[in-house]
Amino acid sequence: MKQRVAALTAAVSLCVLDGAAQQPSFSTTIEAVRVDALVTEHGQPVRGLRASDFEILDNGVPQQIDLVNFEQMPLNIILTLDMSDSVAGERLEHLRSASRSALATLDRSDQAALVTFNQAVSLGAPLTSDIAAVGLAIDRASGSGETSLVDGVFAGMMVGQSDVGRALLIVFSDGVDTSSWLQPDAVLDAAKRSDVVAYAVSVQSRLKTEFLRDLASLTGGRLFEIEKTADLEVTFRAIVEEFRHRYLLSYTPRGVAKDGWHRLDVRVKRRGAAIKARPGYLRS
């Protein structure tokens, strides 16, 4: 047990230090609150909205919103991938192909990182604009051992929090957790304090995926349950494309307590449009 705890601690420390060396970190302990919001109409993203088209209520109190231009905030993709023994052969090739395809969509200002997990968590590539290096790390990854999904998600979130860009956590697992040291509730609590948006992808099975579903819901992302790993490439590209069309809203909380759970009610002033955003955030 001590060896596993030490290994996880080391992996998370590497995640934070590698990112912190590049740019100052962003944390919800400062005043500004960021909310990534997806606006759709008939299933398609709605473009061209302004700050005045949105409303945010923080614990029921209306807030003054700023809209951050996409160009001001580069995209950071953190690929957090299951490398247990069930991901081998054809499944591994599908996962590698999907990951490379997602990286191919990135712009010059964007960054990527790779976190893998089996019975241990590994930082395959730190957050970097050298996308080719991340691709090489993906090619080197191989499947063996058990599944520390919860630990892997936590490490991925730490990478996402280590940089000021917009963090998209893409998590893939084809099974349930069998070997994590961290408890799911503790990691979900960390997600409530994070600006990272998590999109989770799992293979359909009779086993339940409450952790990934809760993770996606709390961060304002989505859970994709695919029939087969051959669908991964289309799914990964769709995730990045959808994330690029989200709006980044920012505000400084006014008229509400600083600490505790803040319930968010994010609305769009467009008839017939639907909006998806995180349900709140936690401060202490």
Q: Which residue segments constitute the domains of the chain, with CATH numbers given?
A: 2-25+73-244 (3.40.50.410), 33-71+246-283 (2.60.40)
Share of the chain above pLDDT 70, in %: 88
Which pLDDT band, with edges at 50, 70 and 90, does 176 fall under?
confident
Is 64 a residue whose pLDDT tops 70?
A: yes
Is 121 a residue whose pLDDT tops 60?
A: yes
Kindly state the average pLDDT of the residues 150-160. 97
Q: Output the CA angle 210-211-216, nearest 5 degrees.
A: 95
The whole-angstrom distance between residue 114's C-alpha and the CA centroid of its chain comes to 12
Is 6 a residue whose pLDDT tops 50?
A: no
User: Given this model, what pLDDT does residue 165 score?
Assistant: 85
- pTM attached to this predicted model: 0.89
Which pLDDT band, with edges at 50, 70 and 90, does 210 fall under?
very high
Lowest-confidence region among 1-15, 70-84, 100-114: 1-15
pLDDT tens digits, 258-283? 899 999 999 999 999 999 999 999 99
Q: How far is CA 18 from CA 21, 112, 127, 134, 197, in A?
A: 5, 12, 7, 14, 20
User: Given this model, what pLDDT does residue 164 score?
Assistant: 83
User: Given this model, what pLDDT does residue 8 score?
Assistant: 53
What spatial distance separates the first Cα and last Cα of the chain, rounded to whole Å? Answer: 30
